[in-house]
Amino acid sequence: MNTLLGAVVKQMDLLLLGWLRGPADAGYYRLAKSLAATLGLLVGPLQNATYPRFARLAGLGRDAELRAVARRAAVRVGLPLGAAVIVALPLVPTVVAAAVGETFLPAARAAQVVLAGGAAWLAGFWVRPYLMAAGRIRTFTHLYVASLVPYAVGVALLARTWGATGMAIGFLGHNVVLFLLPAVGLLR
């Protein structure tokens, strides 16, 4: 179910943006998502490293220790990495111009917003492994469904008006709801 829901955000966005605003905005948004996808090179291994430890603790019934380990992962790894991405956002126009040329500078704003969403993903990298290890798969699915609400608003309203940047705002809202808000709630 999570994979199916993820396909909406990972695949349908470009089709919808192209339909609403045309190929130029879809291309700018695709470039923005490609830049943000590099964060997945960090998130994937972090999740792969934390899940077995979380699962072992959950399997042993050591819930307090599981929460403590998750809190350490958030505070020592996720939050600093997410903050580093936020601090680097002003450099995005320079990176876009250097990497693909000044012709694609209109993609820089969308890239900054998508990278801010990526920062939320990075900061909350541990949420999914934690919920899966704790046997709370239904909770993660409910979060995913809830995260599609800001995404749908982004598609329906913001993308039509602001193109690639509007779609990026919807993506940012999706990641905040899916990773950052649960991270705050789970850390309490």
Q: What is the DSSP string of 142-172?
A: HHHHHHHHHHHHIIIIIIHHHHHHHHHHHHH
Which pLDDT score is estimated for 6? 65
Is pLDDT of 150 > 80? no
CA distance 180 to 123: 7
The mean predicted confidence, pLDDT, of the chain is: 89
Where do the H-state alpha helices sit in the chain?
Answer: 2-7, 13-21, 23-37, 40-59, 63-73, 79-88, 92-100, 107-123, 127-133, 137-153, 160-175, 181-187
Tell me which of 2-11, 86-95, 96-105, 140-149 is least confident: 2-11
Is pLDDT of 95 > 80? yes
Which pLDDT score is estimated for 24? 93
pTM: 0.88
b/e burial code for range 52-71 (CB count within 10 A of at least 16 → b): ebbbebbeeeeeeebeebbb
User: If you average pLDDT over residues 27-32, what whole number do you get?
Assistant: 93
Higher pLDDT, 133 or 160: 133
**Contact of 66 with 55, CB cutoff 8 Å:** no
For a pLDDT cut of 90, what percent of the chain falls above it?
62
User: If you average pLDDT over residues 166-172, what whole number do you get?
Assistant: 89
